[in-house]
Structure 1
Amino acid sequence: MTDPALDAEALRERAVASLVTARDRTTLLTSCVDGPDLTAQHSPLMSPLVWDLAHIGNQEEQWLLRAVAGHEAIRPEIDSLYDAFEHPRSERPKLPLLPPEEARRYAADVRGRALDVLERAAFHGTRLTEAGFAFGMIAQHEQQHDETMLITHQLRKGPQALTAPDPEPVPLFTGPAEVLVPGGPFTMGTSDEPWALDNERPAHRREVAPFRIDTTPVTNAAYQAFIEDGGYDEPRWWTAEGWAHVRRNSLTAPLFWRRDGRQWLRRRFGVTEVVPPDEPVLHVCWYEADAYARWAGRRLPTEAEWEKAARYDPAGDRSTRYPWGDADPGPEHANLGQRHLRPAPAGSYPAGESPLGVRQLIGDVWEWTASDFLPYPGFRAFPYKEYSEVFFGPEYKVLRGGSFAVDPVACRGTFRNWDLPVRRQIFSGFRTARSEDV
């Protein structure tokens, strides 16, 4: 029998490591630019970086210090300033936000107290503290805002502020273009992943008809073929809403791309470069992904199809945590954690492929699916409705798999992301599927 004290110590170590990793990344993203860049709004779609910094601290205070430990509020007067539902992003620069240094001191003060709480925490007794859930939730929340801040860095004008090594070059992928996923039931979602969020729960059986899915995400070269074939000028590839969006916004290519003679260039974190043909396409909205799939004679996979391709192991007739199995992600499995500032070439990470042979399902680019963001059967909001429940409905489309900007703590085979179908500033790509003739 496992010693409960050892389990608690392992949970404590995991929680500490996750919180420290997240804070190190937050510090990097908010220290590589000066004060004016922290307080400026670089796009009406995004908050000023300094808002994210203090919001991270405020969420940590509310959940770890107040809800878990029962402490009195440190700065109750700022709660409304950093309530994401009270103030839309476009209005946040006008608020009396904490200046950068004060925001840093506040977040550091909260973190010091939170680590003291964690040192004494008992990982049982309430659903919030069971298996350290609250600490895992806050680590994931900070990493999600780190990805948001990285998006802000991509939108920011000016010289390069962030650097990272490129992924290792790999030979051009020559494997099969698509993989057959067998029909039948599989277990979707989770009931036993301790830090899984409410929209990933509960585990349930889902029936999926046989289908074929791209072995790798759609590449820049493949997407350029769609552009050169007049894809943005042909309404038959687009939904009515998508075509209206293309016309209204004069879309002709992915965000950050521009044509230079016979080649395409892109801007990436302050550097202009030739679009690399073998990388997964990045910064496309759902409408663009859907139109490409139609042009290619295919379609976007449903969310259930995507998860079955990513988690189903036919040898054991079970669903694994990740495509490669149940082990936590390592650098050999996937491009995660801002280790690089770009996707790896299509076909990378053979150690991370699924038992069915599908690659790069985790990391590199978020993948649009055909599905609306809806609750699973038996869903229960926890610990607050605003995390998932208020977003359920046909307005939002589901993305899966994470990107190079996602930390492993906030990415697993069951993790669900969602956004409006017009969004392109996010690190989004896609792969296509088709139904199998039976």
Structure 2
Amino acid sequence: MTHQLSELTAEELRAFVAAQLERSRGRTVQLTDAVDTDDLVRQHSRLMSPLVWDYAHIGNQEELWLVRDVGGREPVRQDIDELYDAFMHARADRPSLPLLGPAETRQYVVEVRDKVLDVLDHVKFQGSELIDNAFAFGMIVQHEQQHDETMLATHQLRTGAPVLDAPAPPPGRRLATPEVLVPGGVFEMGTSIEPWALDNERPAHPVHVAPYVIDTAPVSNGDYLKFVTGGGYQDPQWWSEAGWAHVQKASLVAPRFWELEDGNWLRTRFGHRELLPLDEPVMHVCFYEAEAYAKWAGKRLPTEEEWEFAARYDPATGRTRRFPWGDESPGPQHANLGQRHLRPAPVGAYPAGASPLGVEQLIGDIWEWTSSDFKPYPGFRAFPYDEYSLVFFGTDYKMLRGGSFGTDEIVARGTFRNWDYPIRRQIFAGFRCARDPRPEELG
């Protein structure tokens, strides 16, 4: 719905924003109430903050942007700004900070939210880029949902009895073809019209893509297992120099959370130890693992441009869509999003979410590694602050696209760009392969 915000009356926009704020907070509360006080303050991995830090950081960002900046109100807790500045303290160091305790954190975020709702009641959605179409509110909603996914990843890293539950995703189905030939062409990458799109998604710009072949669905656990059991982690020919160095340094032998026991491959998922589901997309692999598998399979990873072309271009009309299935926002029939299911859905589970060319599960289930570095689009302008995107551009980060089962629909645009270090495995990331077409395929 977000692309239609400009068509809403002020009161309709207020109601939409309030609903999104409430929905995101409900998820945050669920993720933090699910564990006891010890788990809230414990650091479950040096890669992650304690859950209580994420919770208070969510409130602090809401206070900074909506209470103080948009609302012009007095600070609620100016004394904690530095504690919850993500650029001031590395995640590994945050447990040693004098953080708010769980009870104080809950009280703080409630007080901030009360003031935000009062600001929302009085703000006029015009007069500055920050409040046009409620952009600042949308930025904060997305920020909370992104941290909710981060907290969900922290739940995956915690030990102990399971505390989260969700129904199983829909069943998969056999795909008619494992690959799709994409004819190539010119499409409009990025966006200039999505009112809540973030700065690195902007502006829309024409991109020419040469013909290529892309996997119909993400690589499955079953397919990746063949790489594992075939000695893929022991053979340097499949790995880049940096990838092979990382494999040896980190002693990688399989995706994270996989374990071989009595001849059976098991995985741990939110505290559940279960037989590896062969029909689900592989997950918790780093960029180097995805790259090595692709080479082993005689393929490569798609570029970010190829990924978005497959996800948004309709060759029949020449239009660039918002999503693979069209312009309507994601529904449960389209994609596995929003923590609705606590796992990727089996391959073939969402035929209604297919692109016009028949490429499936591009949105939801797992973030997909691409071969591209994180670079700005032509005409990029940092807004509303440099630290969202500008400071990360360069060759240190690889691009991920599409969103996971833990990504909320308000974030999972066809234009949304995620990035991480190529060694990261705690995120809900997998991949699909691409390749150059053979001459006979081009006719």
CA distance in 1, matches of 2:213, 2:329: 27
Counterpart AA for 1:364:
D
- Which of these residues, 79, 82, 100, is aligned with residue 80 of structure 1? 82
Does the alignment pair 1:312 with 2:295? no
Does the alignment pair 1:225 with 2:226? yes
Deviation at 1:215, TM superposition (A): 0.3
What's the secondary structure of 2:187's corresponding residue?
strand
Counterpart AA for 1:125:
G
Counterpart AA for 1:29:
L
Give TM-score, length-normalised by structure 1: 0.98
CA distance in 2, matches of 1:176, 1:121: 52
Give the structure 2 partner of residue 142 of structure 1.
144
CA distance in 2, matches of 1:183, 1:271: 43
Give the structure 1 partner of residue 18 of structure 2.
16
Structure 2: stretches of 5+ with no match in the other structure: none
- Which of these residues, 110, 116, 119, is aligned with residue 117 of structure 1? 119
Deviation at 1:262, TM superposition (A): 2.2
Deviation at 1:9, TM superposition (A): 2.7
Q: Is the 2:312–2:414 contact (alpha carbons within 8 Å) kept by the matching residues of 1?
A: yes
Deviation at 1:139, TM superposition (A): 0.3
What's the secondary structure of 1:255's corresponding residue?
coil
Does the alignment pair 1:129 with 2:131? yes
Give the structure 1 partner of residue 418 of structure 2.
417
Deviation at 1:324, TM superposition (A): 0.5
Give TM-score, length-normalised by structure 2: 0.97
CA distance in 1, matches of 2:75, 2:436: 54
CA distance in 2, matches of 1:138, 1:232: 41
Deviation at 1:261, TM superposition (A): 2.4
Q: Following superposition of structure 1 onto structure 2, how do residues 164-175 of structure 1 map, counting pairs within 5 Å?
A: 164-171=166-173, 173-175=174-176
Give the structure 2 partner of residue 187 of structure 1.
188
Give the structure 1 partner of residue 246 of structure 2.
245
Structure 1: stretches of 5+ with no match in the other structure: none
Q: Is the 2:5–2:195 contact (alpha carbons within 8 Å) kept by the matching residues of 1?
A: no
Does the alignment pair 1:29 with 2:31? yes
What's the secondary structure of 2:259's corresponding residue?
strand
Instruction: Please give the per-residue CA displacement for 1:28-62, whole angstroms capped at 9, x wherever unaligned.
Output: 00001110100000000000000000000000000
Q: Is the 2:5–2:133 contact (alpha carbons within 8 Å) kept by the matching residues of 1?
A: no
Deviation at 1:3, TM superposition (A): 12
Does the alignment pair 1:201 with 2:172? no
Instruction: Please give the per-residue CA displacement for 1:55-101, whole angstroms capped at 9, x wherever unaligned.
Output: 00000000001111111211111000000000000000000000001
CA distance in 2, matches of 1:293, 1:9: 50
Give the structure 2 partner of residue 293 of structure 1.
294
Q: CA RMSD in A?
A: 1.3
Bigger drift between 385-394 and 12-21 goes to 12-21
Q: Is the 2:301–2:432 contact (alpha carbons within 8 Å) kept by the matching residues of 1?
A: yes
Counterpart AA for 2:258:
W
Give the structure 2 partner of residue 357 of structure 1.
358
Instruction: Please give the per-residue CA displacement for 1:393-419, whole angstroms capped at 9, x wherever unaligned.
Output: 000000000000000011110000000
Counterpart AA for 2:66:
L
Counterpart AA for 1:434:
R
Deviation at 1:315, TM superposition (A): 1.9
